[in-house]
Chains A and B, each alone.
Chain A
Amino acid sequence: MTGPRTLVDKIWDDHVVAEDPGAPSVLAIDLHLVHEVTSPQAFTGLRRRGLKVRHPERTVATADHSVPTTPRNLPILDELAAAQVAQLETNCREFDIPLHGLGSPSQGIVHVIGPQLGLTQPGMTIVCGDSHTSTHGAFGALAFGIGTSEVEMVLATQCLLQRRPQTYEVRVDGRLAPGVSAKDVILALLSRIGIAGGTGHVFEYRGEAIEALSMEQRMTICNMSIEGGARAGLIAPDDTTFEYLAGRPHAPQGAAWDDAVARWRALPSDPEAAFDRSVTIDAASLEPMVTYGTNPGMGLPISARVPDPAAAGDDARRRGLEQALAYMDLQPGQALLGQKVDVVFIGSCTNGRISDLRLAAAALKGRHVADGVRMMVVPGSDEVKREAEREGLHEIFRAAGADWREAGCSMCIAMNGDQLSPGQYAVSTSNRNFEGRQGKGGRTFLASPLTAAASAVAGAIADPRLLPGIESLAAVGGR
């Protein structure tokens, strides 16, 4: 491709291995992340065909989805989950793949440990059998989720067959108000374009508000690109990116670091590069966001009222909204503020990083979780847990009456025993409010860590902007 190019174009062009007429491009993959849930059938396929893993040194595995968040000296009680984790260990041993397994100090959610270890780097192609692989786009990598058949292909060939995606510019101008964070930006985008708005596209997030974000906040935004239908979402690498990466275990070092930074600085989209679609959001106008329905696009500013299905534009929308409100047991016109909650969950690949825990702890310090509310804090990785404990955050959570857990996906996907009971309401910092996502019959309000912590104290959905000292609180997330 000649002429001005986007960040996506540059990464794409750099990774095309072969192109037959009429066929998709053969795209080289730099980094393949593997976890226990979507990989077993792929390894079975390799064995059946007598194939090896082409590049175990470009592959890395961890156990996160089905692992308990109870103390690590306890066994996995769920026999199926135990068998799945054991199978991952067997597969990694047999195929020589580095494993950050249960009990390892580097274990954690796959999308938390990749960046933390410095494996995620600008300009790379990164895949994983997990739709939230879009997280790694925060570093200016083309990162997307794949199915298990594709996991097998990447294991065998370190390549995938892909058609070039269309590009979608998401411009966020201006500055966010105190108490409004990355989670609110992405929920606002989803409420605007809908959960299929980005289908066939890759988002590129840009603009003043994006540039001002820390790497962890950028990861929160890119993480939920898939909730807008886009397989990937990315942000041009800059000094914030390089500062985060420098010195991490797998980041380039010495002269290789200087070479890498020079290469990375050429990645941002050319000024004249054109996008297939574009949307602009005014950061200053955003409020904290909360979802009210059963997909992540059903979100509202926290001060708004639940919409009326009767006002929906067409029958399909009206039916969808009616079904969502019936599942959530919410009434049209009802305020979200003050809606009672039973459970508050802080964690996940969306908001389980150290800055998320710092924000939640700052909001909880000297306060107590409301009577009748169960609050769970689940660090995104063992390293996040250790850092939080070094900073004493766990003491703040415990003093507030919250449950401090081991690392994993936990109640985001409710595979590991951490789940809602039927009918319970949760404010959750995770990424999906689908029916039953956090446990059969459970009802999810997606929100930021600050909103979740404020709601835990109130026992109901609460506006984090009313927390005492919100200006200084909001700065805690930091870079």
Chain B
Amino acid sequence: MARPFAGFASRVIPLPAENVDTDQIVPARFLKATDKSGLAEALFRDWRFEADGSLKEPRFVLDQPDMSGRRILLAGENFGCGSSREHAPWALVSWGIQAVITTSCADIFRTNALKNGLLPIVVDHERHRQLFELLARDPDVELTVDLAAQVVHLPGDEDLPFNVDPFSKLMLLEGTDELGYLLGKSTEIDAWEGRHVARVDTRGPSGTTA
């Protein structure tokens, strides 16, 4: 279960790439684990390392000086497309990333991220362009993420508002999870199942277990 999502301030990791797919975030060969540990090492593995295990030159942004400890990733549109692997947000979170700012997120990635204390912040293209410009001027600029108020505070008292699903927001702020909510619906689930015949029986022919 995730911890309550608290507001935080952080410098930013710029990744000006569109359509970053989850195969890049965590290559498939790292999906053989049966737990969630060690995935920080797999994060963007093939963008970071040569085949012989040495760091690529020029270095990928995560490996550039002064990038460690930054908790906000600023990425291009359609972040997290492709495979449904939840290993992608697990890896980002275990690296220390708590928010991804982009112009759009793939549906399954967004869903997975929100369940792991990783906040997708979707802004319009103009705001997005301005953020990259701000970073170009001041690579060490610090942003403050305030989920409760749904704003990112920029330097100079400027606020960047963002939308978030109200239910997901509540779950994040309270540090509770959806499974707890669903388990609380057992009366409704029992009632629905009482009104609906099972459509299939994976142990035998359908229509025999009604």
A, B in one complex: yes
Determine whether B201 belongs to the interface, using a CB cutoff of 8 Å to chain A: yes
* Interface membership of chain A positions 244-276, coded 1 if the CB is closer than 8 angstroms to chain B and 0 otherwise: 000001111110110110000000000000000
- Interface pair A195/B189, CB less than 8 Å apart: no
Determine whether A156 belongs to the interface, using a CB cutoff of 8 Å to chain B: yes
Determine whether A107 belongs to the interface, using a CB cutoff of 8 Å to chain B: no
Instruction: State which residues 383-417 of A face B: CB under 8 Å.
Output: 413-415
Determine whether A83 belongs to the interface, using a CB cutoff of 8 Å to chain B: yes
A147 in contact with B202 given A195-B19, A252-B207, A253-B207 (CB within 8 Å): no
Partner of A17, one of B24, B112, B192, B203: B192
- Give residues in A with beta carbon < 8 Å to B: 17-18, 22-24, 26, 28, 30-31, 37-38, 40-41, 44-45, 49, 51, 55-60, 65-66, 78, 80-81, 83-84, 87, 97-98, 118-119, 121, 123-124, 129-131, 145-150, 152-153, 156-161, 163, 195-196, 199-200, 226-227, 229, 231, 249-254, 256-257, 259-260, 295, 316-317, 319-320, 323, 413-415, 422, 432, 434-437, 440-441
- Give residues in B with beta carbon < 8 Å to A: 16-19, 21, 23-24, 27-29, 31-36, 46, 51, 76-78, 81-86, 104, 106-108, 111-112, 115-116, 165-167, 177-179, 181-183, 185-186, 188-189, 192-193, 196, 198-209
A56 CA to B203 CA, complexed, in Å: 9
A40 CA to B183 CA, complexed, in Å: 21
- Interface pair A40/B24, CB less than 8 Å apart: no
A121 CA to B184 CA, complexed, in Å: 29
- For the complex formed, measure the closest distance between the CB of A122 and the CB atoms of chain B, giving whole angstroms: 10
- Interface pair A149/B21, CB less than 8 Å apart: no
A98 CA to B34 CA, complexed, in Å: 20
Shortest Cβ distance from B49 into A: residue = A440
- Interface pair A30/B188, CB less than 8 Å apart: no
Interface-central residue, B76, B83, B177, by most chain A CB under 10 Å: B83
- Interface pair A434/B179, CB less than 8 Å apart: no
- For the complex formed, measure the closest distance between the CB of A244 and the CB atoms of chain B, giving whole angstroms: 15
- Interface pair A37/B31, CB less than 8 Å apart: yes
- Interface pair B198/A157, CB less than 8 Å apart: no
Query: Which residues does chain A contribute within 8 Å of B83, judged by CB atoms?
Result: 131, 432
6 contacts across the A-B interface (CB closer than 8 A): A121-B199, A147-B84, A161-B167, A161-B182, A295-B81, A320-B18
A97 CA to B203 CA, complexed, in Å: 9
Query: Which residues does chain B contribute within 8 Å of A153, judged by CB atoms?
Result: 178-179, 182
Partner of A118, one of B31, B46, B188, B206: B206
- Interface pair A316/B18, CB less than 8 Å apart: yes
Partner of B188, one of A17, A78, A156: A17
- Interface pair B84/A145, CB less than 8 Å apart: yes
- Interface pair B81/A195, CB less than 8 Å apart: yes
A256 in contact with B23 given A146-B108, A156-B183, A159-B185 (CB within 8 Å): no
Query: Which residues does chain B contribute within 8 Å of A199, judged by CB atoms?
Result: 78, 104, 106-107
A157 in contact with B200 given A147-B108, A147-B115, A149-B112 (CB within 8 Å): no
- For the complex formed, measure the closest distance between the CB of B198 and the CB atoms of chain A, giving whole angstroms: 6
Query: Which residues does chain B contribute within 8 Å of A157, judged by CB atoms?
Result: 179, 182-183, 185-186, 189
- Interface pair B177/A415, CB less than 8 Å apart: no
Query: Which residues does chain A contribute within 8 Å of B86, judged by CB atoms?
Result: 38, 41, 129, 147-149
A60 in contact with B202 given A229-B107, A437-B28 (CB within 8 Å): yes
Partner of A196, one of B31, B81, B203: B81
A295 CA to B108 CA, complexed, in Å: 17
- Interface pair A316/B28, CB less than 8 Å apart: no
A435 CA to B18 CA, complexed, in Å: 13
- Interface pair B182/A80, CB less than 8 Å apart: no
A413 in contact with B189 given A199-B78, A250-B206 (CB within 8 Å): no
Shortest Cβ distance from A320 into B: residue = B18
A226 CA to B29 CA, complexed, in Å: 21
Partner of A41, one of B21, B27, B36: B36
- For the complex formed, measure the closest distance between the CB of B75 and the CB atoms of chain A, giving whole angstroms: 11
- Interface pair A436/B21, CB less than 8 Å apart: no
Query: Which residues does chain A contribute within 8 Å of B21, judged by CB atoms?
Result: 295, 432, 434
- Interface pair A414/B84, CB less than 8 Å apart: no
- Interface pair A437/B32, CB less than 8 Å apart: no
Shortest Cβ distance from A198 into B: residue = B107
A359 CA to B115 CA, complexed, in Å: 43
- Interface pair A415/B32, CB less than 8 Å apart: yes
Partner of B34, one of A41, A55, A323, A434: A41
Shortest Cβ distance from B46 into A: residue = A436
- Interface pair A124/B200, CB less than 8 Å apart: yes
A316 in contact with B77 given A22-B166, A157-B179, A196-B106 (CB within 8 Å): yes
- Interface pair B116/A251, CB less than 8 Å apart: no
Partner of B202, one of A26, A84, A250: A250
A200 in contact with B107 given A17-B192, A159-B182 (CB within 8 Å): yes
A295 CA to B18 CA, complexed, in Å: 11
Partner of A24, one of B17, B167, B200: B167
A185 CA to B178 CA, complexed, in Å: 38
Query: Which residues does chain B contribute within 8 Å of A317, judged by CB atoms?
Result: 18
- For the complex formed, measure the closest distance between the CB of B79 and the CB atoms of chain A, giving whole angstroms: 10
- Interface pair A57/B112, CB less than 8 Å apart: no
A58 CA to B200 CA, complexed, in Å: 6
A435 in contact with B23 given A17-B188, A121-B199, A149-B115 (CB within 8 Å): yes
The 6 lowest CB-CB distance pairs between A and B, nearest first, are A256-B207, A80-B32, A40-B34, A147-B112, A147-B86, A196-B78
- For the complex formed, measure the closest distance between the CB of A82 and the CB atoms of chain B, giving whole angstroms: 9
- Interface pair A422/B51, CB less than 8 Å apart: yes
- Interface pair B207/A434, CB less than 8 Å apart: no
- Interface pair A57/B201, CB less than 8 Å apart: yes
A463 CA to B40 CA, complexed, in Å: 44
Interface-central residue, B32, B78, B104, B186, by most chain A CB under 10 Å: B32
- Interface pair A260/B207, CB less than 8 Å apart: yes
A84 in contact with B34 given A149-B86, A161-B182 (CB within 8 Å): yes
A97 CA to B177 CA, complexed, in Å: 25
